[in-house]
Amino acid sequence: MKKKIIIETAIMNDNKLIFETDDSIKGLMPREQILVDSDNSAFVYLMEDQDDYTYIVLPENLWSYLKAALDQKLPVLIKTNLEQIELINFHDELEYVLSNIKGNSNYGDEFVSKVEGFFLSV
C-alpha cells in the first residue's frame, strides 16, 4: 500500500520552502515527479524507498507557498526533526503539470478553474 504524507505546515526560511512533517522520511528518495489529486485539490510529489512509493500530498491551503517558491525559484525541501530532503526537480515538474492542467477538462472543470485562477492568472 502506498504511504501518504499530508503536509499541513510550510515555512519560507533562508530562501527555501520547507514542508514540515512528523512522519518519517528516512530512506525516501525523490522520484522527481508531481502528480495531481484533482478530487482533493492537491498536488502530490512522488518519493520512493526500496519497497514502494510515498506520496507527499500538498493540499490547496499550501498553494500560496508553491506559487512563491515557483516564482522565486526557491529550493523545496521536506523536513522532520531529524532530517531533510530536497525535492529535486520540483519547479520543472510543477510547471509541466500546470501547463497540462491549463484548459484541460480531464482534470475536472472545478480543479482546472482553481488552478488557472491561482497559478496562471496574469
Give the tens place of pLDDT for each residue, 31-81: 999 999 999 999 999 999 988 999 999 999 999 999 999 999 999 999 999
- What is the average pLDDT across 11-31? 95
Q: Is the pLDDT of residue 121 over 80?
A: no
- What is the average pLDDT across 7-36? 96
Percent of the chain past pLDDT 90, that is, above it, reads: 93
Q: Report the alpha-carbon distance of residue 11 to residue 116 in Å, rounded.
A: 24
Sign for the pseudo-dihedral over CA of 116, 122, 67, 48: positive
**Burial letters for 11-23: b for 16+ Cβ neighbours within 10 Å, e otherwise?**
eeeeeebbbebee
Q: Is the pTM of this model over 0.95?
A: no
Q: Which of 75, 71, 63 is nearest to 117 (CA)?
A: 63
Q: Write down the pLDDT at residue 1.
A: 61
